[in-house]
Amino acid sequence: MDTPEQPQLYLITPPSLDLDLFPDQLARVLDATDIACIRLALATRDEDTIGRAADACREVAHSRDVALVISDHVLMAQRFGLDGVHLSDSARSVRTARKDLGPDAIVGCFCGTSRHDGMSAGEAGADYVAFGPVGAHALDDGKRAEPDLFQWWSEMIEVPVVAEGGLNIDLIRVLSPHTDFFGIGEEIWSTQNPGETLATLVDAMR
């Protein structure tokens, strides 16, 4: 995942998918907008459900040369031919995931609001670090990844950074100069037309 001048888009799937509808919805979004990576981020732990979703999303993503990673399931990433894993436990699993998946896989991790955890993840070999939530979020404990965290990171650290969680037009405008990727999920999937909503958010990056 390269570092561009304008942030790239990193799509995050809904926590549950209707596989009769979502693959076509995802395809329309990918065909309309340049997406760098997709994260399969399901709430379920059911392996059959995850596997069917992984197969469906991989077919859509890879046919368009878009990388697909999965939240936390290193073995599933290997089994279903995905491009890597997104870890939700800060830096703790980065080295193990890298060893298991090899040097070419994408290994990223979510570090909440912790600069220290982000640096530890980068030192452990993460390809990117995600901070968030940056705005009001359904899973909200009141903590925020503030703009000054992204500004400091962009000036001091070479590891690409993702801003995610509770994004809106105003936050995107503020964070665009200081982040490499925007992790966008519920911001679009909860709307009537995800593609149009995403286009509005992309306009705010310019």
Tell me the pLDDT band of 140, cut-offs 50, 70 and 90.
low
Question: What is the pLDDT confidence band of residue 150, given thresholds at 50, 70 and 90?
Answer: very high
Phi-psi map region of 165: left, alpha, beta (phi>0 left; psi -120 to 50 alpha): left
CB 62 within 8 A of CB 31: no
pLDDT at 138: 62
Question: Which pLDDT score, from 0 to 100, does residue 21 have?
Answer: 96
pTM of the model: 0.95
The rounded distance, in Å, linking the Cα atoms of 133 and 145 is 6
For each of the domains in the chain, give its residue range(s) and CATH number, in order of start: 8-203 (3.20.20.70)
The residue type of 184 is I
Q: Which amino acid is at 73?
A: H
What is the rounded average pLDDT for all residues in the chain? 94
